[in-house]
Structures are given as C-alpha cells and as structure tokens.
C-alpha cells in the first residue's frame, strides 16, 4: 500500500475543455510549483490557440484572414508558421492534405496536433518530460509512465463503438487517429471537395504529433495507397481499417506485445 500511495502522489492530472473537445494531462512527476506552473502555461497555450485558430469564432485571426479582413502579416506570428507547415503537408501528401480542403481557410487538420505537441514541449522544458497530453484522442506521450515501462494506448475499433481494435506501446511518441466512425464523413478530399470515403479510420504513430495528425488525415483521403506513401515518411507508421473492416498495418507499427498474437474480432483482422 505505501508504494501505491507514493505512485499516485507522483502524478499531476488535469482535464480542460477547449477547442471544441477535451484535453487531458497526466504528468508522471511530483506536483511541485514548477510542474504546476508548466501545466498552467500549457493550458493557457491551448486557449490561446483556440482564440487564434478557431474557425467557429468570427474574431479569430484565421477567420479574419479567411474573410479578407486581416493579412497574415498582421496576425500573431504562429499563424504564418502554421500555414507554412500546412503547405509542407500539402506538398508531402501530394494534395491529400490541405488547409483549404473545404474551399475556405481551415488548418484544423494540423493545428490540434501541433498545439498538443507545443503544450508537451512546455512541460518537457519545465522538467516534466514523462508526461501525456491527450487532445481529443490525439496523444503525445513523453518519456515513459514509470521507470522501465512503456506507455500503452488503445486504438478504438471503428466497426465496434467502445471496443478496442488493438493497443500500441512505446516511449516518447505520438498517436493520432482520423476517420468518420464517430463524427461521420467530415474529412474532405482536397482534390474534389467531397467527403473522403476510402477508409473507416487511419492511425499514425511517430515522433511528432503535428505530423502524425496531418498524416492520419491524409491517409483517410489516400485510402490503402497510404501504406505505400507512409514509407516515405521516416519514423512514422500506419494502421488503417478499410470499408469492409479489414485492418492493415505497416511493418513497424508499434503493437503492444500482448496484442501482437491476440485474435481479432470478425471483420477486424490485423494484416502485417
């Protein structure tokens, strides 16, 4: 019992509703003035990102740039950085990711992952590298949750709400999933302007949530062709579920050891 109480005491957790979703923090560090301050800065950062990039707020910088009432040069400096990253993502995915997929300026497909990555960076810089930041299911996992142990994250089965398809594990990595299982076909194919309909879901793992989030969105547009494409992105791995419920993973996708040989539910077989 004393050992268990000590482990709980060495955690600092927080939940925040912002950017239209729920963000959660789990710092595997003793709650000190420094770690609490870093957590406060990370939460404040997310609210700042919402004020600047929300497409639902007519006064946000991104909305004003979109309607022509503000120039990019007059916006906060992070706007230009994000739009340049969106251009990079569009080029890298051959047009399957775009900040103008819906014919209006909307970098949301990159912003959330980037915001989480930056929030985690604030924690790491403040001396709390063994931390988790979860932004609506897109997760940055830093360091390890306990000495000698990897982080483990469940991947939801789009064919069975509330059921896990598999579990991934690792240290210091990111996990992002895109698809229409919960929100319907909301991801648009920038090349046609119509909803993408080639996959039920795509999960990408890698070292940076900014790109894992963007690549997952692009993979939904690309369909199973994304498995060939992801090989051009060093450090990133892919798991897809097609319209028939068949799951396919890239060779280095970090399945947890306990799930590598586990039987899959009908319609959700994992092919390597």
| pLDDT band (50, 70, 90) for residue 162 | confident
Q: Is 1 part of any domain?
A: no
Q: Is 202 part of any domain?
A: yes
Q: Exposed, middle or buried, 223 (CB in 10 Å: 0-12/13-18/19+)?
A: middle
Average pLDDT over residues 87-97: 98
Q: Is 250 part of any domain?
A: yes
Q: Is 236's pLDDT higher than 80?
A: yes
96 sits in which H/E element: none
Q: Is 3 part of any domain?
A: no
Average pLDDT over residues 66-74: 97
Domain range for 220 is 9-271
Count of structural domains within the chain: 1
In angstroms, the CA 51 to CA 84 distance is 19
Q: Is 2 part of any domain?
A: no
Instruction: Give the CATH number for residue 135.
Output: 3.10.520.10
Q: Is 49 part of any domain?
A: yes
pTM, to two decimals = 0.91
| Residue 183: predicted pLDDT | 59
| pLDDT band (50, 70, 90) for residue 196 | very high
Q: Is 132 part of any domain?
A: yes
| Residue 102: predicted pLDDT | 84
| pLDDT band (50, 70, 90) for residue 266 | very low
Q: Is 260's pLDDT higher than 60?
A: no
Q: Is 129's pLDDT higher than 80?
A: yes
Q: Is 104 part of any domain?
A: yes
pLDDT digits (tens, 9 = 90+) for 212-230: 999 999 999 999 999 999 9
């Amino acid at each position: 019992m004393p050992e268990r109480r000590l482990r709980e005491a060495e955690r600092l957790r927080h939940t925040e509703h912002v950017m239209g979703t729920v963000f959660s923090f789990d710092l595997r560090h003793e709650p000190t003035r420094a770690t609490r301050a870093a957590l406060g800065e990370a939460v404040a950062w997310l609210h700042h990102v919402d004020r600047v990039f929300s497409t639902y707020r007519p006064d946000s910088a991104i909305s004003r740039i979109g309607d022509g009432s503000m120039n990019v040069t007059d916006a906060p400096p992070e706007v230009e950085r994000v739009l340049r990253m969106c251009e990079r993502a569009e080029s890298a995915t051959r047009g399957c990711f775009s900040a103008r997929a819906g014919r209006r300026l909307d970098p949301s497909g990159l912003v959330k992952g980037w915001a989480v990555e930056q929030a985690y960076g604030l924690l790491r810089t403040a001396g709390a590298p063994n931390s988790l930041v979860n932004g609506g299911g897109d997760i940055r996992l830093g360091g390890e949750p306990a000495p000698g142990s990897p982080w483990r994250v469940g991947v939801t089965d789009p064919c069975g709400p509330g059921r896990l398809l598999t579990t991934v594990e690792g240290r210091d990595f990111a996990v992002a999933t895109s698809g229409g299982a919960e929100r319907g076909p909301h991801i648009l194919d920038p090349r046609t302007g119509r909803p993408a309909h080639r996959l039920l879901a795509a999960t990408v793992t890698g070292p940076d949530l900014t790109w894992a989030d963007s690549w997952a969105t692009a993979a939904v547009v690309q369909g199973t062709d994304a498995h060939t494409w992801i090989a051009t992105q060093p450090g990133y791995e892919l798991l897809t579920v097609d319209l028939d419920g068949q799951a396919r993973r890239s060779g280095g996708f970090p399945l947890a050891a306990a799930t590598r040989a586990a039987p899959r539910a009908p319609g959700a077989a994992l092919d390597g």
